[in-house]
Every structure is written in C-alpha cells, then in structure tokens.
A = this chain, B = another copy of it.
C-alpha cells in the first residue's frame, strides 16, 4: 500500500459534506458582496515568490525544475498570481475589480493541528479602490462569513494594525532603522518574550531605549491612537486612515468584531496599509484563523499600473477555521441524506429506472440497485444511506399496476398506482397517498 504524503489530507464524504457547507457559506457571502469568481493556476515561476514575498515564504516553497527546465513553484498564496491577472487586463476591467476564488495552496511547513502542507483558501480581493470603505468591506465580508457560519462576537475578533503607523513610528526615531525587519520583529512579538522582541528590534537598527519606547507606544496606541500622533505628527495620516476604516466598519455593522492591535503586523512584506488577523476570542486556538490587508504597491511592482488593493483569505479546508468552528460548537454536523431509494424486486428494472429518472429530474437524490441484490440487502443499503422514502417496484405489484412506497423512519408503507407516482407531485411522500 502506498502511503499518502505527509501534510496532505484526504477527506471522506461525511467530513466533506461539512466542509462543503463551510465553503458554500464563504462563497455565497462573497457573491452577495458582488465578488466574481475566477480560477487561477496552481503553479508559477518560483522567481515570482523569491523576488516579492520575502524569505519566510521562500523557505516553504514546493519549488522544482519542470521537464522544460522552468524553475517553478506550487502557489503558496494567491496574491502574486491575482496581481498579475489584474495587471494584465487593468485597462479593460471596470474598477473596482472584485474577485474571489477557492482553491488549494501548498507550503512546506511542519504540519500541526489545523496546519497542513496542502490547504484550501477562499481569496477575496478588491482592486482599484483606495478608499477606507474598501478595507471595511473586506472586514465586513469576513465578519459576515463567520456569523453566517454561526459564530458570534464572543467567538472571534479581528485584530487590526496599520503598516504605515508602524513604519512612520519606526522612521521617527533617529538612526538607520530597517523598517522591513523591524516590522517582521513586530510580527513575531506575540511568539517571543519581551527581551527577545527588543533584541530583534535592536537588530533592525533601533537603539535600546528606542526599542523600549516603540514597544510601549504600540501598547498605548492600542488604547488611544491619538497617543501616537502626540508622539510624532508624521503618523497622523495613517492614524486617520485606520480611524476611517473603523468608522466605515461601524457603518457596515461590523465594528464590534474589530480591535486595534498594532502588534498584529502580518508576516508578508507586501502589505502597505491596514492589516488584520482573525483570532479565537476565547484564546483556545492560539494561532490566527486567517488574515488580510491592504497591498497598494504590489500590482505596480509586477509592471502593472498603480492599483490599490485590499483582500482577505479565509482558510476553508485543512486550516484553522474548522478548529474554531468546532471549538465554538458550530461545525456543520452533516450526515448522508438520500431522498429516495428505488428498490427493484425481480425483473422490474425498466420501470424502476424510469421512476428513478423522473425523481432525479425533479432535483432529488435517488439511488437504485447496481449490484443485483435481493430485497433485504437493498433495504439494508437504503437504510445505510438514510433514504427517506423507499419505492418498492415488485413483479407482483407491477402485475396489478401498483408500487409500494415505504417511509423509512416510521416503517409505514402504502400501495399506489404506478401512474400516480411520482405523477404531479414534486417530492411525493407516503403522506400524499394516504
């Protein structure tokens, strides 16, 4: 027996039915906001990531040389791909461009609970809108998705930061600060102790006192953003932008899910404005559920036009979101449902098949015998797939132009004329013939 590959999940039907409900909820919510579905390739030039996404992602790439000598990588995230697609048709497309897609991504990380090497995300992005309302619409989509899945404000929170607030604060200090590395230090701040955090900031060029001041400023800013403006005027436009996003989020009815948390910097280098991550409000799941933010420079960096962008990417399968749904007790509890089993006894297949076909044409889930089984074995199978109604097509009944309809839950059954079933009924049950 060949084993599956470590970190790659197989999903059997009952579990998949739950995932399907999650994915449908996420996608239907996106459609409701006018996001349009796209499909994207699973493979890109490895250089696209090596040049743009920073070290962290490169170490995790599934990269290799294909038979044509191309240095390729399985896509670890959608953003660079979708940025290229927007850049390629930026003239023709009406702005804002609002796209979504659900598909797998691959990262060579150490698997752990809720983290797989192959995982599914629904990416949801707005291109061509720089207004804070666009950032807020992304937050609103994210919050609506989670409440649509049954979560409440007690279950999750969006921790919101702003790259320009961090950048301007860092640049306000004298000296030669490497802003990119300092922001990476901020991103790690929750995972390391304070001394290590300070050390990483000093490594990025802050003096010891400056690092202390910076860390304290972020904490103060979380309670009152005006404290930051009092420290340095240069941060004012970014603070106003964050406040405008929060104000729009209030208009959109999702302010209650949003907390300012300046330390939530996100790892990827390409973010430019508001960034956020969704967390378990009860803290039981320690890692972020998903995240997103604004990346206004990325499309231009791909040779496209100036094109502001903001997006989010809930992980819908093989990810942390299912852990949160289970923790909160709202994981969809799906089981097999089957509307009809058409049971044939003796040489009655033409009639049985015709009935099955008519029921399927009405949109129902209908199974019949494909194994030449007897009455009892067919009834057992019908039971195992939770068939609601069994239509028994027997030779003797047929000789009298009759069928038997059996309601599985009650065990009640009734004989009906062949021509009356399904007849005019859209979803005939035993009750229609009593």
Contact = CB atoms under 8 A, between A and B. Distances in A.
A10 B43 CA distance: 11
Contacts of A66: 5, 62, 108
Residue among A16, A39, A248, A384 having the largest count of chain B Cβ atoms under 10 Å: A39
Residue among A12, A94, A133, A338 having the largest count of chain B Cβ atoms under 10 Å: A12
17 contacts: A1-B87, A2-B80, A3-B45, A4-B44, A9-B39, A13-B37, A16-B36, A28-B363, A31-B365, A33-B365, A66-B108, A131-B371, A134-B370, A134-B371, A136-B370, A251-B353, A253-B353
A385 interface: yes
A133 B363 CA distance: 22
Interface stretch (A67-75, A201-209, A234-242): A67-75
B384 A10 contact: no
Contact of A10 (B85, B370, B381): B85
Contacts of A4: 41, 44, 84
B251 A360 contact: no
Contacts of A84: 1-2, 4
Given A8-B43, A32-B363, A37-B20, A133 B87 contact: no
A288 interface: no
A89 B11 CA distance: 12
A42 B118 CA distance: 8
B85 A12 contact: yes
**Interface of chain A, main secondary structure:** mixed
Interface of A: 1-6, 8-13, 16-17, 19-20, 28, 31-34, 36-45, 47-48, 62, 64-68, 70, 72, 74, 80-81, 84-85, 87-89, 94-96, 98-99, 104, 106, 108, 118, 126, 128-131, 133-134, 136-137, 144, 248, 251-253, 302-304, 317, 336, 338, 349-350, 353-354, 357, 360, 363-372, 381, 384-385
Contacts of A34: 338, 365-367, 385
Nearest to A144: B360
B99 A2 contact: no
Contacts of A64: 64-65
B371 A32 contact: no
A370 B133 contact: yes
A101 B85 CA distance: 27
Given A10-B81, A28-B363, A137-B368, 17 more contacts: A3-B45, A4-B84, A5-B70, A8-B43, A10-B38, A12-B89, A20-B37, A32-B364, A34-B365, A62-B67, A64-B64, A95-B371, A131-B370, A131-B371, A134-B370, A136-B370, A253-B353
A41 B5 contact: yes
Given A33-B366, A302-B1, A360-B32, A253 B354 contact: yes
A19 B39 CA distance: 10
B39 A99 contact: no
B41 A248 contact: no
B367 A33 contact: yes
A392 to B, nearest CB: 17
A32 B137 contact: no
Given A38-B16, A39-B317, A370-B131, A2 B94 contact: no
A45 to B, nearest CB: 5
Residue among A13, A80, A134, A349 having the largest count of chain B Cβ atoms under 10 Å: A13
Given A317-B39, A371-B130, A72 B11 contact: no
Contact of A366 (B5, B32, B252, B364): B32
A367 B33 CA distance: 6
Contacts of A370: 96, 126, 129, 131, 133-134, 136-137
A78 to B, nearest CB: 12
A28 to B, nearest CB: 8
B42 A371 contact: no
Nearest to A387: B34
Contacts of A72: 5
A299 to B, nearest CB: 10
B304 A1 contact: yes
